[in-house]
Amino acid sequence: MKLIECPRDAMQGWYHPISTADKVNYLNALLQVGFDTIDFGSFVSPKAMPQMADTAAVLSKLQLPAAGSRLLAIVANQRGAEEAVMFDEITYLGYPFSISETFQLRNTNKTIAESLELVQTLQELCIKNRKQLVVYISMGFGNPYGDPYDAGIALQWVEELAALDISIISLADTVGVASPDTITQLFAQLVPAYPGVEFGAHFHSAPHNWEEKVAAAYVKGCRRFDSTIRGIGGCPMAKDDLVGNLATENLLWFCEQHREPLTLNQPALQAAQRLADKIFMP
């Protein structure tokens, strides 16, 4: 089971500025917990995501355990990726590939076709610089814009990405519309069909229906889940009202119920939770 903690997702849309010092303290606390990966920041336009403008400065102050969590940074274009790959501390670059044309234009100012070309460029850049590309299929379970969607469309785009040798693909429920049936249908087909691909789930979910979503993916073989402490965050580019992320606390409970062995530092987790409560005060 791989747990991907996503403080970047929590911070990017927060309605008041978070200081560089607070980000550094919070990320350093998370790095002590033992998550597989920390989605810590993004190299994107500061106009689009002002909360992420200090990502490079934050990175320079992080205390990375020798054999601890790996760092993932989100990029939205080639320029951001070229900046991100210069940092040895970063293992993964994440790119949001939307199968909703409206959202792809809104999020990265590219069509889906242009975005697919960019994915190929990013893949080549990652291989050259010994990084690994993680592609998020945003709006992977539907969209609020009326753009065409069914499971077949999602499967088609996974096939396109797999043809580019993308080995980590995470399906994102960007606006919290995924149904257990659609989740089951997708993972039931994808996991056995692409044994060389690690499939993940990035669920935005209300508190009342997170478990049915996680269970649907888990039963069909998904073992990579994104979450945030306290379920804070969502995608500010999707809708005006943020839909909360899957809460890390809920995901840990789910793992315990299903006897998934985890080796997290519980005191460090509690310390990070206390910091989150201070940083993300209403």
Average pLDDT by consecutive 10-residue portion of the chain (282 residues)? Answer: 96 92 98 98 92 97 92 97 98 96 90 96 98 96 92 95 97 90 97 97 87 97 96 61 79 97 96 96 78
- pLDDT for 234: 60
The CA distance from 280 to 10, in Å, is 9
Report the C-alpha gap between 237 and 135 in whole angstroms: 17
**Could you tell me which of 161, 8, 164 has the C-alpha nearest to residue 71?**
8
pLDDT at position 230: 92
Q: Tell me: the pLDDT tens digits for 228-238? A: 999 987 655 44
pTM, full prediction: 0.94
What is the distance between the terminal CA atoms of the chain, rounded to a whole angstrom?
32
Per-residue pLDDT tens digits for 82-116: 999 999 999 999 999 999 999 999 888 899 999 99
Return the half-sphere exposure (C-beta side, CA atoms, 13 A cut-off) of residue 114: 11
Looking at the DSSP bridge assignments, the partners of residue 18 are none
Q: What would the two tokens of residue 215 be?
A: 């269970």
pLDDT of residue 48: 86
User: What is the phi/psi pair of residue 98, to 5°?
Assistant: -90, 140
Fold of 2-280: TIM Barrel (3.20.20)
